[in-house]
Amino acid sequence: MIGDSPTLAMNARAQEMRRQGIDIISFTVGEPDFDTPAHIGEAGIRAIKEGFTRYTAAAGIPELRQAVAKKMKRDHGLDYEMNQIIISTGAKQALANALLVLADEGDEVIIPAPYWVSYSELVKLAGATPVIVDTREEDGFKLTPAQLEENITERTAALILNSPNNPTGSVYSREELAGLVEVLKEHRGVYIISDEVYEKLIYDGLEFVSIAQLDAEIKGRTVVVNGVSKSYAMTGWRLGYAAADLEIAKAMGKIQSHVTSGTSSIAQRAALEALEGDQGPVAAMVEEFVKRRDYMVEALNAIPGISCIRPQGAFYIFANVSAYFGRTIRGKEITDSLSFAEALLVEAQVATVPGVAFGADAYIRFSYATSMEKIVEGVKRLADFVALAE
């Protein structure tokens, strides 16, 4: 059965409490709290004014497909022809397209946990079976070559990689990816879906590396998924893209042509401006996210019984709260991440997403895509809440 999105459920509950006039601090948000940069919005408005409001080619307008190909070359040194690029309704549709093409009934798809909630459901939607592989906090929540090797069977159709990661903020280094490539080279039938949607939100001067960069043959069986949602604060525009081997790209385009006929013409013009125009707003957003991360990592680690590693990308912190399991806070028994998150919401008016939603029950996800003022207040409420543990 396809499950509901638990992150959306928690958000809905927090919104309902807010509607009742309760002052909620929400750390559940999965999108930048910044507006779409003005020059990008203007490009969308221009598209409307020019009457660019009709169906486009299902795989996207040629200018944008070309711009994505140019970006892949500019940012990663990767060569793609325009017809290897498919523009979709968000990175989510690109992922769905990829899985529908690569995975069938009886196939397995390896998903390292903690994972973004939709992966396993999309795999099931394709009729395949998700194989969840738990990563370790000591390994920075990253899949090791040995773990990959252990979980590949003759039924493995694909591996889903997500770097920078939601919910952990982990970023795979070139060396770590090279280790995985070594294993994948021995298993020629395994495709790779590389979700790079947080690519631009990377900190500490770290270099973003796509697994497709490491080896030409691996590139041929990698579907790179990306989009403008997170990097350019454009979640509502619904624009993502994929770069893949020509045959895979064609198949993805065909599926999409029957499901949505492609994404909005207006969003495509705006995305063209996002990719080709001023990149200043991205840098400004990154600068702000770093400040918040630094504050929050230190503040959370200062709370007894709560610990987190320092995420290097995205805008999430995945904190271990399991020291409170088996204890009681304001009469509420804390047994797992869900009961912790529920008690925190009801008793301290702080909304978070329980780690169980991401396949890691010892943790809580905090999004810092909210103002510094709210972060300071929210962390204080959290500290006061757990101080009442018995």
Ligand X SMILES: Cc1ncc(COP(=O)(O)O)c(C=O)c1O
Q: Which of 65, 71, 76, 92 binds ligand X (CB under 6 A)?
A: 92
Residue 109 CA to residue 192 CA, distance in Å, equals 10
Question: Measured from the CB of residue 229, what is the shortest distance to ligand X in angstroms?
Answer: 3
> Does residue number 359 form part of the binding site for ligand X (CB under 6 A)?
no
Q: How many C-beta atoms lie closer than 10 Å to residue 368's C-beta?
A: 28
Asked whether position 91 contacts ligand X by CB under 6 A, the answer is yes
Q: What is the DSSP letter of 24?
A: -
Q: How far apart are CA 218 and CA 148, in angstroms?
A: 15
> Which stretch of DSSP H or E encloses residue 140?
none
Q: Is 201 in the site for ligand X (CB under 6 A)?
A: no
Q: Which residues pair with 316 in a beta bridge?
A: 367
What does the per-residue mask of binding to ligand X show for 208-247, with x meaning CB under 6 A? Answer: -------------------x-x-----x----x-------
112 interacts with ligand X by CB under 6 A: no
Nearer to ligand X (CB atom), residue 179 or residue 227: 227
Instruction: Choose the stretch contacting ligand X; rule: CB under 6 A; options: 87-95, 201-209, 242-250, 361-369.
Output: 87-95
Binding mask 136-175 for ligand X (x = CB under 6 A): --------------------------x---x---------
How far, in Å, CA of 45 to CA of 270, rounded?
8
Q: Which is nearer to ligand X, 315 or 385 (CB)?
A: 315
Size of the site for ligand X (CB under 6 A): 13
Strand order in the sheet with 316-320: 307-308, 316-320, 363-367, 353-354
Amino acid making up residue 11:
N
Under the binding rule (CB under 6 A), the answer on residue 197 touching ligand X is yes
Question: Which of these segments, 37-45, 86-94, 97-105, 256-264, binds ligand X (CB under 6 A)?
Answer: 86-94
Closest separation in Å from C-beta 119 to ligand X: 8
Helix, coil or strand: residue 75: helix
Cα 113 to Cα 111: distance, rounded to the nearest angstrom: 6
Q: In this complex, which beta carbon is closest to ligand X, that of residue 195 or of residue 273?
A: 195
User: Nearest distance from residue 115's CB to ligand X, in Å?
Assistant: 8
Q: Tell me the chain's radius of gyration from C-alpha atoms.
A: 21
In angstroms, the CA 263 to CA 55 distance is: 9
195 binds ligand X (CB under 6 A): yes
Strand 307-308 and strand 240-243: the pairing is unpaired
In this chain, which stretch among 61-69, 84-92, 305-313, 357-365 interacts with ligand X, using CB under 6 A? Answer: 84-92
Nearest distance from C-beta of residue 346 to ligand X, angstroms: 25
Q: Output 262 or 349, the one with its CB closest to ligand X.
A: 262
Q: CA-CA distance, 347 to 342, in Å (whole number)?
A: 8
Instruction: Say if residues 358 and 209 touch (Cβ distance below 8 Å).
Output: no
36 is a site residue for ligand X (CB under 6 A): no
Residue 256 near residue 222 (C-beta atoms within 8 A): no
Smallest distance from ligand X to CB 29, Å: 10
Q: Is 116 in the site for ligand X (CB under 6 A)?
A: yes
Rounded-to-integer distance, Cα 233 and Cα 362, Å: 30
Which position has the token pair 């529920």? 342
Under the binding rule (CB under 6 A), the answer on residue 340 touching ligand X is: no
**Which residues sit at the interface with ligand X, rule CB under 6 A?**
30, 90-92, 116, 162, 166, 195, 197, 227, 229, 235, 240
